[in-house]
Amino acid sequence: MTQKRKITDIPQAFQDVPQHYLQMPPVRKGQKIGLFGGSFNPPHAGHVLVAELALERLALDQIWWMVTPGNPLKDVRELASLRERIAMSEALISDKRIYVTAFEASYQVRYTADTLALVRLSCPDIYPVWIMGADNLAGFHHWQEWQAIVRSLPIAVINRPGSNMAAEDSVMAQQFRSARVPETQAAQLATKPAPAWVFIRGPQSDLSSTQLRQREIRE
């Protein structure tokens, strides 16, 4: 089972967030867990589509919908509160295998490499898979310790409108070309040793968080 933290460990800024969101979801040994992180500012149907597609194609037991305290590569001034983003995420999700969590806030980690190290330490007996949209892969090489991330766990890249070509030509895709797994083997990705990654094609949504924020401002 995952390690638990005491309520006193939680930073003051997140005391209004229900405690169970600040813990890692419970897991069982040998489960395949998809890690789907983002600001979700706001979350939308496109995010749900990515999560549901990953669940199906990767044959996962769970997806952790990880609402981050703040993305180091984005302007946090437009960021809704963590509590609000959690509530909006919960309102969108119907599949009980998708767990909304904000444990990164409790452990005060902001970089993916640190999050993955924490998950490995807390849940050593699971098979984690990092899930990202193709729109994020183009700039993935700007992430802190991105090469270490690729070498630490399998990665699933889900197609996104207008981003697939850039993803295929990205620094990561080119540098780790030999580690690419055929899409037909996506269901086995979680148990493959890293580096291993797959590009998954399926239904797409044109929605983006940026567009939704701009629409709210205009209205």
Enter the pTM of the model.
0.88
Q: Stretch 79-108: mean pLDDT, rounded?
A: 95
Split at pLDDT 50, 70, 90, the class of 9 is: low
Q: Where are the domains of the chain?
A: 16-218
Counting residues of the chain whose pLDDT is more than 90, the rounded percentage is 69
The residue-averaged pLDDT of 90-109 equals 95
Q: How many CB atoms lie within 10 A of CB 55?
A: 20
pLDDT in tens, 13-22: 788 899 999 9
Residues 6+ apart with CB under 8 A from 25: 2, 62, 64, 99, 101
The CATH number for 16-218, chosen from 3.40.50.2300, 3.40.50.620, 3.30.70.20, 3.30.390.10, is 3.40.50.620
Nearest to 98 by CA among 40, 44, 54: 54
Q: Which pLDDT tens digit goes with each residue over 58-78?
A: 999 999 999 998 766 566 677
